[in-house]
Chains A and B, each alone.
Chain A
């Protein structure tokens, strides 16, 4: 649980976010994946309750939705840039 709490507190560093939307999405994806993995893995010494587990899955889902939104937005922007370039 300590690992999960620590992971939840982690924010994507501004240095990564500033590079591109793809980099920050990748960082968020890794966070979501580790979170899902930790929820799935049973820790015998410190078991996660069902309520906690559901909350963590919701958090992971939220991260996935953010990634989908960000990436498709970036895809749209790139598309528009290319179209604008072509018309020029």
Chain B
């Protein structure tokens, strides 16, 4: 319902037009209204079905997102090889019980080799160094 309101209210700012000559706001507004209705039905339905506990673990998703964002930031300010090494070392904190620096170094070396192959053989424009 929040998503439908976000899109629906913003689409009111664009010309709506009329059905025979629709403006850019008409279609998103119609879809938002439909989504709002579905949201409403879902809320009503939720009153009739049994509650299910939400299984949400913050740690792993936070580490994965941090490693992705870190990859982008390090690649932008340093280079992509450093970004790959950061990503591997950061991501390995997620999920695994044993953290091994040597294993991470080996994975990083393998991935850097793949990235170099992409750059040299497939012509990818990767700012590796």
Query: Do A and B come together as binding partners?
Result: no
Chain A residues within 8 Å of B, Cβ to Cβ = none
